[in-house]
Amino acid sequence: MVVCVCNAIRECQVREAARAGSTTACQAYRSLGRQPKCGQCTPFARAIIDDERAAA
**Does the pLDDT at position 56 exceed 90?**
no
Q: What is the pTM of this model?
A: 0.91
Q: What CA–CA distance (Å, rounded) separates 9 from 44?
A: 12
Which numeric CATH code is attached to 2-55?
A: 1.10.10.1100
pLDDT value of residue 43: 95
Would the pLDDT of 35 be above 90? no
Helices assigned H by DSSP within the chain:
11-19, 25-31, 42-55
pLDDT surpassing 90 at residue 36: no
